[in-house]
Homo-oligomer: A and B are copies of this chain.
Amino acid sequence: MPAAGEHHPAFEEYCECIFELKEDDVDVIQARIAERLQVSRPAVSEMMRRLESEGLITTDGGIRLTRAGQDLAERVVRRHRLAERFLTDVLQLSWAEAHHEAGRWEHVMSESVEAAMDRLLGSPTTCPHGNPIPGSDYIEPDASPLSSVDVGAKFVISRIPEELEFTPGLLEFLEESALVPGTNGTVTAISPDGTLTLEIGGHHVGVGAFASSRILVSA
């Protein structure tokens, strides 16, 4: 069962991972890739050699996607995020379920399905978590980390970066707490360890320091 395109699922997965690490502003090194993909460091080491010999990455002075690697990664990420939109908006799956499912669909969707889904959804510019869909008309909003909001200030959730999808249970928690792109709230307290207390739709929610530093909001 090869994927729709011409590349093996493993290659797609590694390129996607490199793309998202860069997007999340995390050092693109083998150790990070190993963590995200949940494989051993030797496995990554070996795969880096294969990716390089296939012309998908270069490794002189840090791991970087080549043009071909970038194209592949963008295709995979685009399909992942379109699939997430479809799964949440049309099939009414939860964030967490949609994310898991999309992680499989991204390797299986053909170009025509990608196009048809894009049409069906009205060419969305972000996934349900607010991350940009490559190839769409996404315009970078003027956003800053939730952790930089002052006590008492209002904000609108803008984006929950891909990085947070790796913390088990976090997506579920955020969705249940209505912490989804577009909703607005107020910071009611900041504890010394960086935990924020928010007020959203009449409910109060605590958000840890790490998550707060990653979630992007606008005024």
Contacts and interface: CB of A to CB of B under 8 A. Distances in A.
Nearest to A97: B112
Interface residues of A, number: 25
A219 interface: no
Interface string A38-80: 0000000000000000000000000000000000000000000
A143 interface: no
A116 B93 contact: yes
Overall SS of chain A's interface: helix
Copies in the complex: 2
B113 A1 contact: no
A124 B114 CA distance: 24
Interface stretch (A22-30, A100-108, A132-140, A147-155): A100-108
Contacts of A97: 110, 112
B104 A1 contact: yes
A11 to B, nearest CB: 12
Interface stretch (A84-92, A162-170, A210-218): A84-92
A101 B91 contact: no
Nearest to A100: B110
Contacts of A101: 4, 108-110, 112-113
Interface string A1-16: 1011000010001000
Interface of A: 1, 3-4, 9, 13, 87, 90-93, 97, 100-101, 103-105, 107-110, 112-113, 116-117, 120
